[in-house]
Amino acid sequence: MRSEPVIPNIETALSKSEQQAETDRKLLETEARLSKKIGEDGSTLPAEGWRQDGDGVLTPDGTSLKGWKTDDSGLLLPDGHHISLSEASKFEAFGGFEDVEETRAKPRPLPLHIIDNILAEKEFFLVSSDSKGRKTMLTMQMALSIASGKPFLPNPKWEHSGFRVTRGKVLYLNLELHPGAWDFRLAKQCKGLGIGPGELKGWLYPWQLRGKGMRVEDLVPAIKYQMARQGIGRFDVIFLDPLYVLFRGKKENDAGEMAEALYEIQTLTEEAGLAAAVVGTHHYCKGSGQEEKNQIDRAAGSGVFARITDDICTLTVPKANRKDQNPPAKFEETRRNFKAPVPFMMRFDEESLLWLRDSEPAADEGTVQPGGRGDFVEFYLDRTQTFQRKTLVRKGIERKWGKDSTVEALLKTAIDGGMLASTGKRGQYKLGREGEKEWDRRRGMQYLELDAPDQNEKGEEEDF
């Protein structure tokens, strides 16, 4: 196996004198896990294999298959069909057919959002723009927001701007920049975002891979190897910047080759022990006229890029601004599973190296606005929770939404708008119809609709 560079902690390198014993132990465990049995046809077999069990066969996970038999070369199914163990092991990994009524009875929830209205768990997110279009500046800024929990794409002109972020652990593969240039940009952006020393320890792990020869087929095993070697648990988001470095030897316009390569990347979102959201950067095709193209088809190469990814974000400089010294760029996103934010203009700040919104955000697009749509919803940890009115006011004051009279007015607006509703008991409030929608939206359930109006115990519409 080709030696891969170690992922350094963002704050301090691993101390060999303190960590050597632990590292050696984890390395031995990894080597044991990576050891596999190889079949006669050269394919990989599960460590435990298949075995005969009375009148049936036990699968590697312990499932008993009655009427099946094993022989020297594989499995014999009850209908007489013969299959090799390597094939059976591969098919087992696909999982079985589902009973649709069981699925209807217990539907799986949609992924939770990491960045409100922008990125959810286990999604494959593509950022695309012109070459040298400052994609890396955007993805580094996104990584820092996630690792620190600070709002994404804030603007200092508005005190409570930026998309809300759920803090998570980040791995950032720098495949292109000189490590010193990456460090310089990191320092400038941390200063601009107000991230102090020590705040990112254990949250952000850069992996400097410029010129190291990483290929897309190495991605999953190399990441899992280093995670085990260094004792690092799963990441919430993995950044691949840029994708083209991983595609060496492959043709971007070849749909078959790109489908294989992007599938390897997509496995990061489902692979056991990883299951992270993936953010990758990719360039536009050469030439002008990107604005006239369908937004999802601006990335260079095969149309597979637009099909296999879950979210496509583009940064496009308007034609009228292309000659500007520091032109604005239009942020547009198309999402597979969720409603995307309304497109907006951004401008790059050359001092902080941060992208800033060029227009004030709307109150309903997932941005941080005190006392705005859904802010009271944040106090409810589950749908059935209730609060006394005085408690809601106190919490609003603690959040610095204003004095008690200001928060009272915001509370009345939330009740009038259906965000909150009376439980029927004096001064006690639950989530209203709109509040339940917002509560679900913030947990990735934007498609839920509720039909019944909010009523008190007497069946009357409740007012303030």
pLDDT for 182 beyond 80: yes
Check residue 262 and give its pLDDT: 85
pLDDT band at 382 (very low <50, low <70, confident <90, very high): low
pLDDT for 225 beyond 80: yes
Distance in angstroms (rounded) separating the CA atoms of residues 190 and 192: 5
Residues 397-419 have a mean pLDDT of 80
Check residue 23 and give its pLDDT: 55
Among candidates 242, 141, 215, which has minimal Cα distance to 185?
141
Q: Highest mean pLDDT range out of 19-33, 219-233, 355-369?
A: 219-233
Domain boundary assignment for the chain: 37-93, 113-357, 375-441
pTM equals 0.67
Query: For residue range 434-450, what is the model confidence (pLDDT) as tens digits?
Result: 888 777 665 543 333 33
Q: CB of 335 within 8 A of CB of 310?
A: yes
Check residue 456 and give its pLDDT: 36
Query: For residue range 229-287, what is the model confidence (pLDDT) as tens digits?
Result: 999 988 999 999 888 899 888 888 788 888 888 888 888 888 867 878 999 988 776 66
Residue with tokens 């768990």: 121
pLDDT for 404 beyond 90: no
Strand order in the sheet with 69-71: 69-71, 74-76, 82-83
Residue that wins the pLDDT comparison between 339 and 134: 134
Q: CB of 398 within 8 A of CB of 392?
A: no
Residues 41-66 have a mean pLDDT of 69
Q: Which residues pair with 280 in a beta bridge?
A: 126, 240
Check residue 449 and give its pLDDT: 31
pLDDT for 38 beyond 70: no
Among candidates 154, 211, 143, which has minimal Cα distance to 179?
211
pLDDT for 168 beyond 80: yes
Q: CA gyration radius for the chain? A: 26
pLDDT for 197 beyond 50: yes
Check residue 223 and give its pLDDT: 93
Check residue 6 and give its pLDDT: 62
Among candidates 315, 357, 354, which has minimal Cα distance to 186?
354
- Token readout for 135 is 């994609």
**Residue 98 CB partners (closer than 8 Å, separation 6+):** none
pLDDT for 173 beyond 80: yes
Residues 393-397 have a mean pLDDT of 81
pLDDT band at 178 (very low <50, low <70, confident <90, very high): very high
What does the H/E/C string look like for the chain? CCCCCCCCCCCCCCCHHHHHHHHHHHHHHHHHHHCCEECCCCCEECCCCCEEECCEEECCCCCEEECCEEECCEEECCCCCEECHHHHHHHHHCCCCCCHHHHHHCCCCCCCEEECCCEECCCEEEEEECCCCCHHHHHHHHHHHHHHCCCECCCCCCCCCCECECCCCEEEEECCCCHHHHHHHHHHHHHHHCCCCCCCCCCEEEEECCCCCCCHHHHHHHHHHHHHHHCCCCCCEEEEECCHHHHCCCCCCCHHHHHHHHHHHHHHHCCCCCCCEEEEEEEECCCCCHHHCCHHHCECCCCHHHHHCCEEEEEECCHHHCCCCCCCEEEEEEECCCCCCCCEEEEEECCCCEEEECCCCCCCCCECCCCCCCHHHHHCCCCCCCEEHHHHHHHHHHCCCCCHHHHHHHHHHHHHCCCEEECCCCCEEEECHHHHHHHHHCCCCCCCCCCCCCECCCCCECCC
Residue that wins the pLDDT comparison between 7 and 203: 203
CATH code of 375-441, in short, is: 1.10.10.10
Among candidates 90, 253, 239, which has minimal Cα distance to 177?
239
| 239-251 residues labelled b (16+ CB within 10 A) or e (exposed) | bbbbbbbbbeebe
CATH code of 113-357, in short, is: 3.40.50.300
CA–CA distance from 412 to each of 364, 407, 416, 461 (Å)? 18, 9, 6, 15
Angle at 361 between CA 360 and CA 362, to 5 degrees: 120
Distance in angstroms (rounded) separating the CA atoms of residues 413 and 374: 11
- Point out the least confidently predicted range of 78-82, 138-142, 225-229: 78-82
Please state, as a whole number, how many other Cβ atoms lie within 10 Å of the Cβ of residue 43: 15
Parallel, antiparallel or unpaired: strands 113-115 and 82-83 = unpaired
Please give the torsion angle defined by the CA atoms of residues 423, 429, 434 and 440, in that order, rounded to the nearest 10 degrees. -100
Residues 45-50 have a mean pLDDT of 52
Check residue 14 and give its pLDDT: 40
Q: Highest mean pLDDT range out of 91-100, 137-146, 354-363, 416-425?
A: 137-146
**Residue 24 CB partners (closer than 8 Å, separation 6+):** none
Distance in angstroms (rounded) separating the CA atoms of residues 293 and 284: 11
pLDDT for 4 beyond 80: no
Distance in angstroms (rounded) separating the CA atoms of residues 239 and 278: 6
Check residue 366 and give its pLDDT: 44
Residue 16 — φ and ψ, nearest 5°?
A: -60, -40
Q: CB of 426 within 8 A of CB of 386?
A: no
pLDDT band at 35 (very low <50, low <70, confident <90, very high): very low
Distance in angstroms (rounded) separating the CA atoms of residues 110 and 122: 10
- The average confidence (pLDDT) of the chain is 77
Q: CB of 134 within 8 A of CB of 181?
A: no
Check residue 316 and give its pLDDT: 86
- Point out the least confidently predicted range of 108-122, 176-190, 273-287, 373-387: 373-387
Check residue 289 and give its pLDDT: 59
